[in-house]
Amino acid sequence: MNLKKYLAVDIGASSGRHILGWLEDGKLKLSEVYRFKNGIQPRSGHFCWDADGLRENVIRGLAKCAQVDSVPESVAIDTWGVDFVLLDQELNRIGDAVAYRDSRTQGIPEALEETLSFEALYEHTGIQKQSFNTIYQLLALKKEAPEQLEQAAHFLMMPDYLNFCLTGVCANEYTQASTTALVGAREKAWDTALMEQVGIPASIFHPLRMAGDALSGLTPAVRAQTGFDTTVCLAPSHDTASAFLAVPARDENAVFLSSGTWSLFGVELTEPITTPESRAQNFTNEGGYQYRYRYLRNIMGLWMLQSLRRELGEEQYSFGALTQLAQRAANYPGRVDVNDQRFLAPDSMADAVRTVLSDNGFENPTLEELLSCVYHSLADCYADSVRALEKITGKTYTSLNIVGGGSQDDYLNQLTADATGLTVYAGPTEGTAIGNLAVQMIADGALRDVQHARDVIRESFPIRVFEPKRKDETEC
């Protein structure tokens, strides 16, 4: 049987993968054909992404499809948000792809406040304050290397740039662009007045395009490397936009959690919320597929556990081993604010957690207590976010749907159910790639719409259920 196949290139902060998807007997099937490592590296005094390596790996993964006799109907790329590259008039890259964990934006948000209050910025864009937001990165670049902005003719975010590498087409995709704090929340377009006010050249930005649009076929050079041609389609190219699309929610009273390096915790809305209360609670209004709004909090997420595992030794300590250690200190009362900026890019995550615990009156935690603290602090943050969502939206939520790699962590899933008091539905694991594929299938007519896609997803992948335990049960 000759089945149409589609390719999702899903790139995260630590790895990328090429996943083929197709419909068979009414269910979505997946096959990973290529995987590669990703990460930031020091370069010219900054932490940067290897843009050339990313391009080469994207093309190698495409070539792998031909090798396994699975040429896709289309391909779409998603990545993390906020980071970008600049191209000059000759379409050459200017400078490095500096990563969001770099410290170049230190002091920039405060400097911008002197001419533009965050209250006004939030009212315009609906994007929460994070030191690495693209607006701050661009202003840091303007301060450090103004000649780069002067030379720039094209602004491309990371998936935009990789699409350009495949097609030669420069385009900006809406869901990714919404993370910049340069897009009008209600206008759904670049806020050129804001750019003029802060001194960012509006001419380098391209009109925003919606996920599902076809960009082009592959360039002759890329066709020669892959051995075939295909259509490059725009995914919801911010990975959380794709992940939210893949949530097989059962009702409108569901909370979504895309759990990976970051925890993106929130709901889908039809209109943005940019009230002072929303700003104070640090919720963000990121763009979603078909102009849905991803109303959410960015929470530090599994980055903390990933960092601790690297320090301890990844070969010696699996994530399962970390869970077992944490459970030995299940009653440890120490907690931290997982969104403390000291956890963003510390030299040692263990030292950073110990320092914050010490500030909170908990001295000299054991390794087991350190891990227990992180697990319980994440669950408590999710519970706090549910309460804040209910207060702001006026709704009562009845379930929490977790997708992404973190959905495999049964211990954290149960802690989250206990802390929030909500039934937790965990899965699918490859939520981001699945959402990416779903949009390609909708664009090609293989799926009717978002609801049809979610119905198919629910029937195609195992979903594990975690019921909240009574307080007396959790204390046993």
Rounded to a whole number of angstroms, the CA Rg of the chain reads 22
From 10, 83, 96, 239, active-site residue: 239
From the list 97, 117, 311, the residue with the least C-alpha distance to 197 is 117
Is there a contact between 205 and 190 (Cβ–Cβ < 8 Å)? yes
Judge whether 372 and 284 are in contact, CB under 8 Å.
Answer: no
Token pair listed for 143? 């301060």
**49 within 8 A of 86, measured Cβ to Cβ:** no
- CB count within 10 Å of CB 117 equals 11
417 residue type, one letter: A
The helix (run of H) or strand (run of E) holding residue 94 is strand 93-94
CB 136 within 8 A of CB 108: yes
DSSP 338: T
CA 133/CA 113 separation, integer angstroms: 14
Q: Which amino acid is residue 317, in one-letter code?
A: Y
Whether 239 is a known active-site residue: answer yes
Q: Which of 361, 371, 258 is nearest to 306 (CA)?
A: 371
Distance CA 259, CA 405 (A): 6
**Sole residue written with tokens 């340069």:** 182
Which of the residues are catalytic? 239
